[in-house]
Amino acid sequence: MRIAATADLHVFSPRYGAIQEQLAQVRDQADLLVLAGDLTNYGKPEEMEQLLNSLVRLRVPIVAVLGNHDYESCAEAALMHMLTDERIKLLDGTAYERDGVGFAGTKGFPGGFGRGALTAFGEPAVKAFVQAAIDEAVKLERAMSQLRSKKRIVVLHYAPVADTAQGESPEIFPYLGSSRLAEVVDRHGADMILHGHAHHGSSDGKTTAGIPVHNVALPVLQAQQPASVFRTFEL
Ligand SMILES: [Fe+2]
Ligand SMILES: [Fe+2]
């Protein structure tokens, strides 16, 4: 299976017009498209409408997770419905299998990496924040335990490792992802993890167990030579 992957399209940002034309090439170059969150800029249904208008023309199966931007207007439930109405497989602690390849996905959450991960101690607000990160890891655990296929891809919005955040300011690392997500994937095993969110991060990294991690945030893809709006993987 040829998988095209991208993230952080942030539809309605001024650059989307040009992206749309290049995205049309997915149709010839891949059997499936993965969208790793931040589909919209402000989480508005009209932004999703614009994106869906171009996605339906691709005529390839699409697997997606939402990102933090898609939650900005508290319309995430409406956005999820819009995606599923167009038969886009929205992963939110759920799994999907197609042609022998399994996809498990969830948005993820910030919280930091390794020894720098924030722990549930002290104020209720800190505990609630950490709990949100744990909840996303639990959702990923649930999604992965549903997979029966040998080939498996994990789709997240937030980074599961610090490797692919490299390039961003160290000050914001804890807001770019959570290693709690990588721990789950290492326990279950996967062929690769795809994510976005770290716009100025690095394209490739690995979990502790050696599972490849790829940051497919649009600005990362555009910084490559040659610049692209999606990256393809063969599995
Ligand atoms: Fe983004
Ligand atoms: Fe994001």
pLDDT digits (tens, 9 = 90+) for 105-137: 999 999 999 999 999 999 999 999 999 999 999
Tokens coding 13: 């940002």
Distance from Cα 195 to the centre of ligand 2, integer Å: 10
CA 138 centroid distance within chain: 16
- In eight-state DSSP terms, residue 73 is T
Query: Which residue matches tokens 């034309």?
Result: 21
| CA of 10 relative to ligand 1 center, distance in Å | 7
Band the pLDDT of 14: cuts 50, 70, 90.
confident
Instruction: State whether residue 216 is helix, strand or coil.
Output: coil
pTM summary value? 0.97
Do 64 and 35 touch, CB atoms closer than 8 A? Answer: yes
Pairing of strands 151-155, 204-206: unpaired
**133 CA → ligand 2 middle, Å:** 15
Which residue in 61, 68, 50 sits closest to 90, CA to CA?
Answer: 61
Least distant ligand from the CA of 216: 1
| pLDDT per residue as tens digits for the range 158-172 | 999 999 999 999 999
Does residue 29 surpass a pLDDT of 90?
Answer: yes
Question: With 90 as the cut, is the pLDDT of residue 143 above it?
Answer: yes
Q: Which residue has the higher pLDDT, 183 or 19?
A: 183
Q: Residue range 65-76: average pLDDT?
A: 98
Amino acid at 25: Q
* 10 alpha carbon, distance to own chain's centre: 13
Q: Which two tokens stand for residue 29?
A: 């170059």
pLDDT digits (tens, 9 = 90+) for 199-235: 999 999 999 999 999 999 999 999 999 999 999 999 9
